[in-house]
Amino acid sequence: MPKIDISQVQVQKGAGRYPKQFRSPFAGREKQALGNAAGLTQFGVNLMRLKPGAMSALRHWHEQEDEFVYVLEGEITLIEDKDETLLRAGEAAGFQGGVAGGHHFVNRSQGDAVFLVVGHRSPQERIHYSDDDLVYDYDGTSYTFTRKSGEPYLD
């Protein structure tokens, strides 16, 4: 397998695709799409770095895609519907697609947190955002964000 030069993989800062009104909590988030850099098509692998106070995503769940997270450095707080769990380096969490609820990670520590996020790539996907009036749809070629009513967000 070809070695990935991680220093050459683009660092995506902030919230990226979210509609503008949802982007502010992500100022300290950095993501490198390692799976894309390797040309992987069956699953994605992202290297995430959260600065103190940053969050990984809005609290969400996937209809199709499974998700796996492994902490490499520091610590992050996993926030679910009713629980919070501290994950430290060497610990992991997983989420089955199709299980309603929601999860995300927040760095409440004083140092950076680094972790891998692995998920399979469904040809179609819908993501529900538990605490926000937001739904993400992917049809295999493009994505859209809408309100839960179906009304589109206009940026």
| Percent of all residues in the chain with a pLDDT value above 70, rounded to a whole number | 99
Instruction: Please state the rounded mean pLDDT for residues 142-155.
Output: 88
Q: What is the pTM of this model?
A: 0.92
Tokens representing 148 are: 């839960």
Instruction: Please state the rounded mean pLDDT for residues 133-141.
Output: 92
Q: Which domains does the chain have, with CATH numbers?
A: 6-123 (2.60.120.10)
pLDDT at 3: 92
pLDDT at 131: 92
The Cα 23–Cα 143 span in angstroms is 17
111 C-beta neighbours (distance < 10 Å), count: 11
Task: Give tens-digit pLDDT for 37-76.
Answer: 999 999 999 999 999 999 999 999 999 999 999 999 999 9
